[in-house]
């Protein structure tokens, strides 16, 4: 059985991906915030385990992989957060927090996962970027600032 870990997999698009992976025969690890939500989503899927973890915390990432119990074949870095507002209304702290969630969080996860891959067979890592098509400046400038491409309308 192939195995997959998906971050932010308890709700939204991440939950859709988790469901599809489960239906395709993967054993799925759902890493996300909110213990109740994580447990609920995992309970609805076959061969899924829900583990509460903040992807910006190296300690929590390490503990989550330990709890999952095996090296996943597929790691899907899906976790992200969104805030609205113009650039002028943003605080450096908030932008940093978002960047940390989406970039540093990804790197921490991959680095942790990679360390477990040494000497093993091929694995795959997929990350979800967001084209900021749904959220446009100025209302969505904070969102746009950390995505791949702003989409003017």
Partner 1 sequence: MANMTQAMAIEWGPKGIRVNAIAPGMIDAGMSKPIFENPKVRAVRGGGVPLRALGEAADITEAVLFLDSEGAKYISGHELVVDGGVSTSVMAHLPRE
Residue 31 bridge partners (DSSP): 7, 51
Under a CB-based contact definition with an 8 Å cutoff, are residues 50 and 42 in contact?
yes
Binding segment for partner 1 (CB under 8 A), chosen from 32-40, 46-54, 59-67, 118-126, is: 118-126
Binding segment for partner 1 (CB under 8 A), chosen from 30-38, 48-56, 87-95, 128-136, is: 128-136
- Give whichever of 21 and 53 is closer to partner 1, judged by the CB atom: 21
- Give whichever of 91 and 126 is closer to partner 1, judged by the CB atom: 126
Q: Rule CB under 8 A: say whether 44 interacts with partner 1.
A: no
Query: Binding pattern to partner 1, positions 11-40, x when CB under 8 A?
Result: xxxx-xx-xxx--x----------------
Which runs of E-coded beta strand occur in 41-109?
48-52, 74-77
Report d(CA 109, CA 53) in Å as an integer. Answer: 11
Under a CB-based contact definition with an 8 Å cutoff, are residues 5 and 71 in contact?
no
Under a CB-based contact definition with an 8 Å cutoff, are residues 103 and 129 in contact?
no
Strand ordering across the sheet containing 74-77: 48-52, 27-32, 3-7, 74-77
Closest separation between CB of residue 12 and partner 1, Å? 3
Where do contacts with partner 1 occur on this chain (CB under 8 A)?
2, 4, 11-14, 16-17, 19-21, 24, 73-74, 76, 82, 102-103, 106-107, 110, 114, 117-118, 120-131, 133-134, 148-149, 151
């Amino acid at each position: 059985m192939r195995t997959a870990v998906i971050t932010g997999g308890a709700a939204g698009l991440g939950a859709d991906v988790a469901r599809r992976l489960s239906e395709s025969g993967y054993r799925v690890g759902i890493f996300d915030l909110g213990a109740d939500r994580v447990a609920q989503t995992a309970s609805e899927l076959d061969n899924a385990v829900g583990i509460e973890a903040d992807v910006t915390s190296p300690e929590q990432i390490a503990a989550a992989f330990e709890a999952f119990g095996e090296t996943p074949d597929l790691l899907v870095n899906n976790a992200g957060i969104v805030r609205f507002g113009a650039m002028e209304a943003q605080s450096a702290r908030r932008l940093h927090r978002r960047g940390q969630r989406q970039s540093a969080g990804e790197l921490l996860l991959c680095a942790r996962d990679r360390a477990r891959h040494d000497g093993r067979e091929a694995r795959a890592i997929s990350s979800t970027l967001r084209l900021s098509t749904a959220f446009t400046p100025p209302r969505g400038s904070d969102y746009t600032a950390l995505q791949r491409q702003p989409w003017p309308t």
